[in-house]
């Protein structure tokens, strides 16, 4: 180890001072302070170990808490995973929130399936019980039963069979709507409405949609057709002969208002109409799945349906994203 310094007079170098220290002197010095070096080294190692243990404990504690919640959910002791209160780090907080969100979604889906299964079993049980009773009576009294009564029982059996057939068909529609994957297709609203208006005019429902602007919606044409058909069919089945369709929009979303002059929705039923299988037309063959099919299709394409306020008839509001081509 050395260092050199010049000695100048004016601009002329007259000498150089050269200082040096041999490595032996450094080694000798280190040898003299070796106890201090050992103490410093051990202290640093101890601090490093303690720091590692602290960091490891801080991270592993919320992970262990999360794992314990998962085990409790698996054993049925807890319905869903709650976010960790003290996650320590941002990454652990994100992990906790992701597990909580996934758990909440699965719990909601499980509840929906349970409720749906209960409704389905009830909807099938009613006509099947009626069919069983009619068949038992026919089996026991077919020889002595008057022809008129026998024909009435046969008619009831046929009606119940048709009801089951329609119910199965609507359940398949709902299953397809629930399983539908969104596509990049878009639909021209005025074209769809024009075709449906002509069809339903022949069935006694006049559809006024002249004020609808030309717009492309971010929904597949077949899905939009199903939504519109179910809404128009709903108006027709509830005694409407006129349907006014109006619209407004912003940069992202397009809203359609369907206002008919039918029997409308009573205050008592406003909170029930989007419940699967709820219908006021059960005796006329209603399944109560039309609005659920609409809601499921719209949800797939980031849309929604709601019930508006109307003094006469009923108003449904459909919201869909605009296709930016």
How far CA 248 is from CA of 63, 188, 215, 311, in Å, comes to 49, 16, 11, 21
**CA quadruple 305, 309, 315, 321: dihedral positive or negative?**
negative
Q: Is 81 left (phi over 0), alpha (psi -120 to 50) or beta?
A: beta
- For the beta carbon of residue 211, count every other beta carbon within 10 angstroms: 9
CB-based contact 294:258 (threshold 8 Å): no
Domain 187-321 of CATH type 3.30.565.10: yes
For the record, the structure tokens of 32 come out as 């003299």
**Alpha carbon distance, N-terminus to C-terminus of the chain:** 74
Task: State if pTM tops 0.75.
Answer: no
CA distance 214 to 193: 11
CA distance 241 to 260: 8
For the record, the structure tokens of 162 come out as 């048709």
Query: For tokens 């909170």, what's the residue?
Result: 271
187 forms beta bridges with 217
What per-residue confidence (pLDDT) applies to 22?
Answer: 61
How far CA 261 is from CA of 56, 201, 236, 258, in Å, comes to 68, 15, 10, 10
Q: pLDDT per residue over 37-73, tens digit each?
A: 888 888 899 988 888 777 777 777 788 888 888 888 8
Query: For all residues of the chain together, what is the average pLDDT?
Result: 84
For the record, the structure tokens of 148 come out as 């008129």
CA distance 323 to 309: 28
- 272 Cβ neighbours under 8 A, 6+ residues apart: 278
- Give the number of residues written for the chain: 325
Q: pLDDT per residue over 15-28, tens digit each?
A: 878 776 665 666 67
What per-residue confidence (pLDDT) applies to 227?
Answer: 92
CA distance 274 to 306: 9
Query: For tokens 């869909």, what's the residue?
Result: 320
How far CA 186 is from CA of 77, 197, 261, 321, 324, in Å, comes to 46, 20, 31, 10, 9
Q: pLDDT per residue over 136-164, tens digit each?
A: 888 888 888 888 888 888 888 888 888 88
Q: pLDDT per residue over 176-234, tens digit each?
A: 888 788 888 888 888 888 888 888 988 899 999 887 888 889 999 889 999 999 999 99
Architecture of domain 115-179: Orthogonal Bundle (1.10)
Helix (H, G, I), strand (E, B) or coil at 272: coil
- Most confident of the ranges 6-10, 31-35, 38-42, 317-321: 317-321
Give strand ranges (E) for 172-211: 187-188, 206-208
CA distance 8 to 19: 17
Closest CA to 220 of 261, 245, 186: 186
- For the beta carbon of residue 131, count every other beta carbon within 10 angstroms: 19
253 forms beta bridges with 321
Q: Is 188 left (phi over 0), alpha (psi -120 to 50) or beta?
A: beta
- Phi and psi angles of residue 91, each rounded to the nearest 5 degrees, phi first: -65, -45
Per-domain boundaries in the chain = 115-179, 187-321
């Amino acid at each position: 180890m050395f260092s050199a310094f010049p000695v100048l007079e004016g601009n002329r170098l007259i000498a150089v001072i050269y200082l040096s220290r041999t490595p032996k002197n450094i080694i000798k010095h280190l040898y003299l302070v070796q106890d201090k070096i050992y103490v410093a080294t051990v202290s640093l190692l101890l601090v490093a170990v303690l720091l590692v243990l602290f960091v490891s404990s801080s991270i592993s504690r919320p992970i262990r808490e999360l794992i314990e919640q998962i085990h409790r959910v698996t054993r049925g002791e807890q319905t869903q995973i709650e976010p960790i209160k003290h996650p320590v780090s941002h990454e652990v907080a994100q992990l906790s929130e992701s597990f909580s969100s996934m758990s909440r979604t699965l719990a909601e889906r499980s509840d929906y399936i349970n409720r749906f299964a209960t409704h389905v079993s009830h909807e099938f049980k009613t006509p099947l019980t009626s069919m069983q009773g009619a068949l038992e009576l026919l089996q026991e009294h077919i020889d002595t039963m008057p022809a008129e009564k026998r024909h009435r029982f046969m008619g009831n059996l046929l009606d119940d069979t048709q009801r089951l057939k329609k119910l199965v068909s609507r359940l398949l529609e709902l299953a397809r709507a629930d399983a539908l994957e969104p596509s990049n297709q878009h639909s021209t609203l005025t074209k769809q409405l024009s075709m449906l208006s002509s069809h339903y005019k022949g069935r006694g429902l006049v559809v006024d949609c002249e004020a609808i602007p030309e717009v492309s919606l971010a929904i597949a044409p077949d899905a939009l057709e199903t939504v519109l058909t179910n809404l128009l069919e709903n108006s027709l089945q509830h005694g409407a002969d006129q349907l006014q369709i109006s619209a407004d929009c912003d940069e992202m979303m397009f809203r359609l208002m369907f206002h008919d002059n039918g029997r409308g929705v009573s205050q008592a039923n406003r909170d029930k109409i989007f419940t699967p299988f709820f219908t006021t037309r059960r005796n006329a063959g209603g399944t109560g799945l039309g609005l659920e099919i609409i809601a499921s299709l719209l949800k797939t394409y980031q849309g929604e349906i709601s019930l508006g306020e109307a003094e006469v008839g009923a108003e449904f509001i459909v919201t869909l994203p605009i296709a930016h081509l």
